[in-house]
Amino acid sequence: MAQRNTLQYIILGLLSQAPRTGYELTQDFAHEIGEFWQAQHSQIYPLLGKMEAQGLIAHTVEVTGTKLEKKRYRNTAEGQAVLTAWVGSPTPTMATTKDEFVLKLYFVQRADDTRLPGMIKEQLRIHREWLQHLEARRQLLFADPDAASQQFGHYLILDHALTRERQYVQWLEEQLARLPHN
pLDDT for 16-73, tens place per residue? 999 999 999 999 888 777 767 888 888 999 999 999 999 999 999 988 877 788 999 9
**Does the pLDDT at position 1 exceed 60?**
no
Boundary-marking domain end, from 88, 118, 135: 88
Q: Please report whether residue 95 resides in a domain.
A: no
Look at residue 41 in the predicted model and tell me its pLDDT: 84
Look at residue 115 in the predicted model and tell me its pLDDT: 93
Same domain for 81 and 117? Answer: no
Boundary-marking domain end, from 32, 60, 88: 88
Boundary-marking domain end, from 32, 63, 88: 88
* pTM assigned to the model: 0.71
∠152-71-31 over CA atoms, to 5°?
35
Number of domains in the chain: 2
- The CATH number given to whatever domain includes residue 11 is 1.10.10.10
Percent of the chain residues past pLDDT 70, beyond the cut? 96
**Does the pLDDT at position 116 exceed 70?**
yes
* Structural domain for 115, as ranges: 100-178
Strand partners, 153: none
- Helix, strand, coil percentages (3-state) for the chain, rounded to 5, are 65, 10, 25
Look at residue 61 in the predicted model and tell me its pLDDT: 92
Look at residue 2 in the predicted model and tell me its pLDDT: 38
Q: Which long-range contacts (CB under 8 A, 24 or more apart) does 169-177 make?
A: 169/124, 169/127, 169/128, 169/131, 172/120, 172/123, 172/124, 172/127, 173/124, 175/120, 176/117, 176/120, 176/121, 176/124
**Does the pLDDT at position 181 exceed 70?**
no
Same domain for 20 and 51? Answer: yes
Same domain for 11 and 83? Answer: yes
- Per-residue pLDDT tens digits for 89-110: 888 777 777 788 998 998 999 9
